[in-house]
Chain A
Amino acid sequence: MRRPVFSKRSGICFLTLALLALLLLPGIARGETMKVTQSNQSLYPDPDFAGTPIAPVPVGAEVTVQQQSGDWYKVEYQGKSGWLNRQAFPSPATGSKFSLPGMLFGAPVKETSSDEAALAGKGFTPEVESSYRQKHPEAKFAEVDKVEAYRVDPAKLQAFITEGGLKP
């Protein structure tokens, strides 16, 4: 008698592997390399802005994620290990909605305006500002954006300090 092309055993093996792949593929953040997209970012010794930063992390820097805790990622950058706030990274791509690690341990990074529950838990947020802006069209937020966008070139600042006989 001829053996069927797909035996019972190979079928079970295939099914097992497929299920394992489904479980493990999406949402793995540990060991992932992420690119910093926002300026003025620093590595902190703890997941808290109150600490003294370990080192600045420039835009475009690639960091390796080791761990996540709420809004903070423990990362490795240029041999230094520290915590980077999620504001350093772009919002995650909206691909597969299913992520087992995300479901079990919390989504990695989420910034959706519809997630009211999440924003309410965070206090004063960009969404609260946005509602405030609608109520107060007289407030000059566009001017504030201009002020915040102004940057002093680090090399120019160093030259300014040196020229003035100031302490570097």
Chain B
Amino acid sequence: MKSHLRWLALILLVVLPAVWGCAGASAIIPAISIAATGATKAAKASREINDSEEYYVGRAVAARILSQYPLSQNAKVTEYVNEVGQTVARKSARPNTFKGYHFAVLDTTELNAFACPGGTIFITRGLVETCANEDELAAVLAHECSHVANKDGINSISKARWTEVFTAMGAEAARQYGGVAGNLVTLFEGSIDDVFKTMVVNGYSRTAEEAADAGAVTTLTAAGYDPGALAAMLKKMLAKEKGAAGGIYKTHPPTGERLAKLKAEVGKEAAASPAEAKRTKRFEKSAKS
């Protein structure tokens, strides 16, 4: 027993200082492992952009949009849009994002809505006022939630750029403590440009729009809203299209094909229920103020 204790003490006396000695060099251990991980990642060439990265891209896109449009200071409308938005977001195909969904009104008469990657959704005051009732507002917001769920914004980052991000991750990791990851910042900048260009300038593809319409119909049904409200909204936009060029007509073109597809999906228009009348009443009270 006595000799066992001696041996144990001896082993510990030898092993511990050796391990402790490594503590001095502990910075090297994570650096090596990170460098190795980075290299492995770079070698893998690509992985999906994760939810946290999507969130940071979304924040920067939102910050850029807000440098062009002011936020509405109307607390009543903001609260109402958030209530309708959260009601549909929780029934969307992606009810949880990295930091949740957030809704805000842009103070402009322009008609448009934007879904930033990660779940920040903007709708213009002009578009809110174009809606005839809560169900139509819910339809617009559900459509935008579908863009978030389908990751249409984040998927606008070019594949080549994302591969470059990956290579940068490996290079930066290997460089170890070498100042701010400058190359990553440049790539982040480029990614914001990619997403912003698609969302605000060029608009999504017709396929992405139709998929977002289909998602919105499912979401509206799941939330208890009239799924026909999206077609009604689209019809209204089509009627207004003559002479209109920018805004939503550029980013979410309300084509006849979209409307036809929607009508086929939803089928017969449902008669307005007493609950719908109640919703319309609160819409008029909150959104038209």
Contacts and interface: CB of A to CB of B under 8 A. Distances in A.
B181 A120 contact: yes
Given A9-B2, A12-B6, A166-B87, A42 B96 contact: yes
- Please report whether the interface of chain B is mostly helix, strand, loop or mixed according to DSSP: helix
A131 B178 CA distance: 14
A84 to B, nearest CB: 13
Contact of B169 (A121, A129, A144): A121
Contact of A119 (B41, B57, B100, B181): B181
A95 B7 CA distance: 32
A1 interface: no
Given A12-B5, A50-B51, A165-B273, A144 B185 contact: no
B51 A129 contact: no
Contacts of A150: 78, 82, 102-104
Contact of B23 (A87, A97, A122): A97
B9 A19 contact: yes
Interface in A1-47: 9, 12-13, 15-16, 19-20, 22-23, 40, 42
Interface string B80-110: 0011001100010000101110111000000
B12 A19 contact: yes
Interface stretch (A59-67, A75-83, A135-143): A135-143
A103 B16 contact: no
A59 B278 CA distance: 34
Contacts of A166: 87, 223-225, 275
B282 interface: yes
Contacts of B282: 163-164
Given A49-B51, A121-B38, A147-B71, A103 B2 contact: no
Contact of A147 (B34, B62, B279): B62
Nearest to B83: A160
B6 A147 contact: no
B8 A16 contact: yes
Given A49-B98, A163-B278, A164-B275, A152 B181 contact: no
Interface residues of A, number: 62
A58 interface: no
Contact of B59 (A106, A123, A129, A160): A129
A160 B22 CA distance: 59
Contacts of B168: 120
B68 to A, nearest CB: 9
Nearest to B135: A164
Given A12-B5, A127-B180, A131-B180, A139 B60 contact: yes
B184 A123 contact: yes
Interface string B254-289: 000000000000000000011110110010000000
B261 to A, nearest CB: 25
A116 B185 contact: no
Contacts of A140: 63, 66-67
Contact of B60 (A117, A121, A129, A148): A129
B245 interface: no
B184 A124 contact: yes
Interface in A149-168: 150, 152, 156-157, 160-161, 163-167
B191 to A, nearest CB: 7
19 contacts: A9-B2, A49-B52, A115-B177, A116-B172, A117-B35, A117-B173, A120-B171, A121-B173, A123-B53, A124-B56, A127-B181, A129-B188, A131-B182, A140-B66, A141-B59, A147-B120, A148-B59, A150-B82, A165-B279
User: Which 4 interchain pairs have the tightest Cβ spacing?
Assistant: A165-B275, A120-B172, A166-B224, A139-B63
Given A49-B96, A147-B104, 8 more contacts: A116-B179, A139-B64, A140-B67, A141-B60, A147-B71, A161-B87, A164-B134, A166-B275
